[in-house]
Amino acid sequence: MNHTKLVGQLKRALLPYVILRRLREGPTHGYSILLRLERIGLPSVKSGTLYPLLRSMEEAGEVTAHWETPEQGPARKKFEITEQGLKSLQDLETWIDEIV
């Protein structure tokens, strides 16, 4: 298997883990998550990938979202990890520790 392809597949597969780790630090907006993904070497993740993933994580009960309306500028959706999300993150961290 092509090394580059394998690394790309692993990075995409670990997106929920990376998102949950970021949200464990505190609530944030999707754009902030995209910037974090860029900084850690995932610049190919676009909003068309991130927001549907966040929506499915919300449906699974791992994150909650609410609209924040600042005094200036447009409303923005803010995401926060839930107890279920923390449990999922703990399970993922345990699994990663076991396989590494």
User: Which DSSP symbol is given to 42?
Assistant: -
If DSSP codes are grouped into helix, strand and coil, which group holds residue 29? strand
Each residue's pLDDT tens digit, 38-94: 998 887 888 999 999 999 999 999 999 999 988 888 889 999 999 999 999 999 999
Q: Look up residue 19 and give its amino acid.
A: I
Average pLDDT across the chain, whole number: 91
If DSSP codes are grouped into helix, strand and coil, which group holds residue 52? helix
3: left (phi over 0), alpha (psi -120 to 50) or beta: alpha
Say which CATH topology domain 3-99 has: Arc Repressor Mutant, subunit A (1.10.10)
Count of all residues that appear for the chain in the document: 100
Res 1 pLDDT > 70? no
Work out the average pLDDT over 4-29: 90
Each residue's pLDDT tens digit, 21-39: 999 999 999 999 999 999 9
**pTM of full prediction above 0.85:** yes
Helix-strand-coil split of the chain, %, nearest 5: 60, 15, 25
